[in-house]
Amino acid sequence: MAAPVPEKNSSQFVSLLSQLLSTNNSEKVIEIIQDKENKQIIKDESWEIVRVACEYLTLDTYLKSRSLFNSCETVLEEIARVALPEEALLEFLEQIESPDSDEKFSALLKPLQIVLLQLTKRKEQSLSWCLSTIKTYIKGVPIPENQNLEGNEKLLMDADPNVQRINDLYSRISVFYKPFIENVAREVHGDIPEKEVIEKQRQLLISFLLHILEKPLVYLDLEWNSEGAKSSARVSAEEIVFCLGCIMPDVLMFLDYDGPINESSEEDDAEVSSNLDGSLHYFIREDKVPTMSLSVLYYLIFAEGLLQHLLPIVYDPVFVFRSCLHHASVLLKNPEVMILKKGLLLSQAVIQKLPDKKILSIELEHPSYRQFVDVLTHAMVYCGVEECRKLAGTIFKSFLFKFDTKGRYLLMCNLQKTVNHSGTLGYIITLLKDMIRQEIAQKDLPNFFQGKCLYDLVTGYCRLPNGAESDLVELADEIISALNLLRFLLLHDEKNETCIWDHIKSFEKGYFDPLREGLKLSRAHYKLKLRELSEERQKAPGKRSEVTITVGCQQLPDVPYDQKVFLINSALNAFDLMECLLSHINECIEAKVSH
């Protein structure tokens, strides 16, 4: 038995330790800290010792003298084992809340874990403190910049120092949370007396995992196509999702989660927390479930195929489709390509799951679809990566064809009101042509694709907002597509099954005539500009071109001569194409009349 240690000794112990650390005498440090004789002193002086040891947990020490850094870690772990858990917890929390470096942060995770596992009282509150500290730290890490990486280029991401740092932290954190997950997963099944405590821990951990699934992980590449190496981020994501699978009663339980409750309405927290019977209730509270985290979770489940063995097979496919499109929209809204791409892949995955032409039009009442179409058409045009723009286009097409006839008709009617980008409208008109082609091929032409309905739909896409004076360059895409569509209709419906011929006069008057007139005007205008340009060039060959070109009410910024000529020529080409289509249409009409 060691003699009772006088008080004086304890302060001596701290100064000895401090001295040993400053002289980098690692062996001796470990020796005195592990000496059973000193147990009581360590227990009494834990606060001081933690403070002293933490001073050496710097990046500098880590790089220059690893052994010193390691011995400090050993000191802290020893304290975690020896000191009163409640006290040690507060000491470590105080230190981890002000980390100067990732090294200090990581070094403190292990002792924290030891303490938490020893705690007997107020377990969930302590866990909650720790998890929220970790969460805050990792969310503060800088994210990699949006670099619009295409194809294999994204493999370069793992070389980005920010990405490496994030990956590093995630793997350290995973070591920290795993024992708690295992604990909960083991006991949630058994009928144990402290069920409520476990339940509380489970909710805490689910919320925590969802949080770290969001930022900064969402900015990283999580794709893996079953060949090649997984990115480190993907490995971390899989780990998190796997843990979620272990402790969530149903990983799809948040499918129709519609955001946290509005906190502005009267506060009475006490009442809410007293009412924790249903498992969803806890998560209704604000900040328990960050919205994007669910999107990432469902992206990983449906697009990346994780947790397939755990999915309850009782959910309605259309419900899953609708809910996932909502979650995909959250991702698609984000300008970061890495995030947007996840949205695209999620929507693609759920759209592929459903058969064509089966979703009832009444579904469209759900605002999710409108939101989805809005963000998807936006991504189609404005996303910085070509691969994604194209993918968005393909997804859009297969989405439209999932609905029944009436649904497709309603979608097409409404799209012309919500979309205003000419290129997109051109694309939509091309899809409309495909749709009508399919319908005409059927025996019974549905009411929606004939007569007045069809006429109204088609005229909606024959837009010349300022009549003959409309800007034909700006509208080129939609005009060419619309003319193509009309020509197709006239050619393929000689028997007038769609009754499109009944409306030919209105098309002539409302569209073809002003368009012809507009073409004359525009062509003359651009030819004049072309002449101005060449004259300017002849007069002063080397000078900067000053002829102005206006497209869509806005003057083009200062562009060089060659580009201006190119622009004008491409406009003239577009006019040629329109004229050519118009004359084809005319031929059709004349042939019909002469018959």
With CB under 8 A as the contact rule, the residue among 53, 359, 486, 574 that binds another protein is 574
Q: How far is the CB of 467 from another protein (least distance, A)?
A: 8
Orientation angle between helical segments 386-400 and 405-418, nearest 10 degrees = 140
Q: How far is the CB of 429 from another protein (least distance, A)?
A: 10
Q: Which is nearer to another protein, 121 or 189 (CB)?
A: 189
Q: Which is nearer to another protein, 52 or 457 (CB)?
A: 457
Q: Which is nearer to another protein, 276 or 591 (CB)?
A: 276
Applying CB under 8 A, the span of 123-131, 205-213, 425-433, 533-541 interacting with another protein comes to 425-433
Please tell me what DSSP assigns to residue 152: G
554, β-bridge pairs:
551
Applying CB under 8 A, the span of 12-20, 21-29, 47-55, 463-471 interacting with another protein comes to 463-471
What are the residues whose beta carbons fall under 8 Å from the beta carbon of 260, sequence distance 6 or more? 284, 285, 286, 287, 288, 289
HEC string of 355-393 equals CCCCECHHHHHCHHHHHHHHHHHHHHHHCCCHHHHHHHH
Q: Pattern of binders to another protein over 340-379, x per CB under 8 A?
A: -------------xxx--x--xxxxxx--xx---------
567 touches another protein (CB under 8 A): yes
Q: Which is nearer to another protein, 175 or 276 (CB)?
A: 276
Q: Which is nearer to another protein, 163 or 248 (CB)?
A: 248
* Euclidean distance between CA atoms 361 and 579, whole angstroms: 38
Q: How far is the CB of 122 from another protein (least distance, A)?
A: 25
Q: Which residues within the stretch 257-276 sit at the binding site for another protein (CB under 8 A)?
A: 261-262, 265, 268, 271-272, 275
* Euclidean distance between CA atoms 360 and 353, whole angstroms: 16
What are the residues whose beta carbons fall under 8 Å from the beta carbon of 184, sequence distance 6 or more? 198, 201, 202, 205, 246, 247
569 touches another protein (CB under 8 A): no
Q: Which residues within the stretch 286-305 sit at the binding site for another protein (CB under 8 A)?
A: none
* Euclidean distance between CA atoms 300 and 69, whole angstroms: 38
404 touches another protein (CB under 8 A): no
First to last CA, the chain: 119
505 touches another protein (CB under 8 A): no
150 touches another protein (CB under 8 A): no
Q: Which is nearer to another protein, 382 or 494 (CB)?
A: 382
With CB under 8 A as the contact rule, the residue among 453, 530, 572, 589 that binds another protein is 453
Q: Which residues within the stretch 228-257 sit at the binding site for another protein (CB under 8 A)?
A: 249-250, 253, 255-256
203 touches another protein (CB under 8 A): no
Asked whether the beta carbons of 175 and 182 are under 8 A apart, the reply is no
In terms of Cα–Cα distance, which of 322, 328, 284 is closest to 303?
Answer: 328
392 touches another protein (CB under 8 A): no
Is there a cis peptide before residue 216, judged by omega within 30 degrees of 0? yes
With CB under 8 A as the contact rule, the residue among 481, 498, 522, 545 that binds another protein is 481
- Reduced to 3 states, what is the DSSP secondary structure of residue 551? strand
Asked whether the beta carbons of 43 and 87 are under 8 A apart, the reply is no
Q: Which residues within the stretch 28-47 sit at the binding site for another protein (CB under 8 A)?
A: none
530 touches another protein (CB under 8 A): no
Q: Which residues within the stretch 167-196 sit at the binding site for another protein (CB under 8 A)?
A: 188-189
Applying CB under 8 A, the span of 40-48, 168-176, 295-303, 412-420 interacting with another protein comes to 412-420
* Euclidean distance between CA atoms 82 and 71, whole angstroms: 16
227 touches another protein (CB under 8 A): no
547 touches another protein (CB under 8 A): no
10 Å CB burial of residue 464 (0-12, 13-18, 19+) is buried
468 touches another protein (CB under 8 A): no
With CB under 8 A as the contact rule, the residue among 406, 516, 523, 537 that binds another protein is 406
- Reduced to 3 states, what is the DSSP secondary structure of residue 447? helix
Half-sphere exposure of 586 (CA within 13 A, CB side): 10
Q: How far is the CB of 188 from another protein (least distance, A)?
A: 7
Residue matched to tokens 């951990």:
205
